Amino acid sequence: MEYENVFNNVSEFFKEALGNLEGYVETVIMEIQRPSKSRNSVPLSVKVTSLFTWDSPANNSTVNSAVQSAIEKENQFYVKTYHEVKHCDVYRCDTKTTVCEESTSPECKCKSDLEKTEWDDLSCSACSKNCSAAKNKYCVKEEEVPKCKCMANYKSEPESGDCVPCAVGYSGVECSDNTELILIIVGTVFGAIILSLVIAVSIISVRAKDKRNPETRSLIKSGHSDRNTSDDRPSMFPRVQTTSGHANPGYQPHNPYEMSSKNRDRFPERDYDDMYETPREPRGFRTQSRY
């Protein structure tokens, strides 16, 4: 009963206001907004569209002037105000899949990578041919709305809308996974630490090799000294100066046959010839024949 009352009064008002305009057909109620408070205290907001024939000379200006004149009549009490709106506000294009192009005859144009089917007029319910694997894209429906998305490891460029490969270290949907980047950073840090340790160990080893035992160094120097004074033949071991010979007054031979006369009484004198004598060269023994 309430809707019928609104329909009858609104239809009657616009019939009287626009009936004299050439090509007028009817006024259709598109939307009734319910008031948030009591219905008796707050007026209703009604959205309507007035239809004219194609050859009608009427336009927005003439329609608005005729309606304002009807509101100012004394016997009119139902419609209080009138505001002109855009055609797209009434045409009801699907805002999720289309963009309304404002004109006398509005058109619902598909958003990027979407297209209409033969059953569509106010919406676009299919992905376009541009949404393909060749373009690194795929079509999926979310909440009954088709969406063209980039494949894994690709990211959509805001300006061009193309799907480009992820930067180094990123992967996943829209390149949101940075696990590879973390691994690269950690690997680089550990690699630098290991390289530093290798260099440090090498330096320490070289320094430890140069720092020899003082006694060993003295023996090596002594061996080089003897080699320079005696002969030029190479020696594997360093030569050590001993107290062999009688030049040293404190020398006491270990051979009992070569001891002094006072200590030699207890031993018989040597009555044999040395068949071998120790050479000065560090090559072993040599035979000395005596006749």
Residues 39 and 65 in one domain: yes
Question: What's the pTM?
Answer: 0.48
Q: What residue type is assigned to position 40 of the chain?
A: N
Name the residue among 46, 13, 21 with its Cα closest to residue 32: 46
Does 147 fall in a domain?
Answer: yes
Residues 157 and 138 in one domain: yes
Does 152 fall in a domain?
Answer: yes
- Give the Cα separation of 143 and 131 in Å (integer): 19
Residues 45 and 64 in one domain: yes
Last residue of a domain, one of 37, 60, 85: 85
The reported pLDDT for the residue numbered 13 is 92
Q: Which residues pair with 109 in a beta bridge?
A: 99
Residues 97 and 133 in one domain: yes
Does 251 fall in a domain?
Answer: no
Residues 26 and 68 in one domain: yes
Does 108 fall in a domain?
Answer: yes
Last residue of a domain, one of 130, 165, 200: 165
Does 254 fall in a domain?
Answer: no
Residue 2 to residues 6, 7, 17, 34, 44: CA-CA distances in angstroms? 6, 9, 23, 12, 11
Does 112 fall in a domain?
Answer: yes
**Cα dihedral 9→15→17→18 (10° resolution):** 150
Residues 139 and 80 in one domain: no
**Under a CB-based contact definition with an 8 Å cutoff, are residues 131 and 148 in contact?**
yes
Residues 55 and 101 in one domain: no
The DSSP call for residue 35 is P
Residues 81 and 7 in one domain: yes
Neighbours of 102 (CB within 10 A): 11
Does 219 fall in a domain?
Answer: no
- Give the Cα separation of 30 and 91 in Å (integer): 9
Helices (H), 159-178: none
Phi-psi category of residue 58: left, alpha or beta, with phi > 0 → left and psi -120 to 50 → alpha: beta
Q: Which domain holds residue 26?
A: 2-85
Give the pLDDT of the chain (291 residues) as one tens digit per residue. 888 888 899 999 999 999 999 999 999 988 888 766 655 556 788 888 899 998 999 888 899 999 999 998 877 778 888 988 888 888 889 999 999 998 878 899 998 889 998 888 899 989 988 888 888 888 988 888 898 889 888 988 877 788 989 888 888 888 888 888 888 888 889 899 999 999 988 888 887 776 655 555 555 555 454 554 445 555 555 555 555 544 455 555 555 555 555 554 555 555 555 554 555 555 544 544 444
**Under a CB-based contact definition with an 8 Å cutoff, are residues 58 and 50 in contact?**
no
How many Å is the maximal CA-CA distance in the chain?
A: 171
Residues 95 and 31 in one domain: no
Helices (H), 211-251: 214-229
Residues 54 and 103 in one domain: no
The reported pLDDT for the residue numbered 67 is 92
The DSSP call for residue 287 is E
Residues 59 and 102 in one domain: no
Q: What residue type is assigned to position 4 of the chain?
A: E
Q: Which residues pair with 143 in a beta bridge?
A: none
The reported pLDDT for the residue numbered 291 is 44
- The string of DSSP codes covering 243-272 is --SSSSTT---S-GGGS-TTTSTTSPPP-S
Name the residue among 53, 40, 38, 47 with its Cα closest to residue 14: 47
Last residue of a domain, one of 165, 181, 206: 165
Give me the number of domains the chain comprises.
Answer: 2
Three-class SS state of 213: coil
- Give the Cα separation of 97 and 147 in Å (integer): 9
Does 179 fall in a domain?
Answer: no
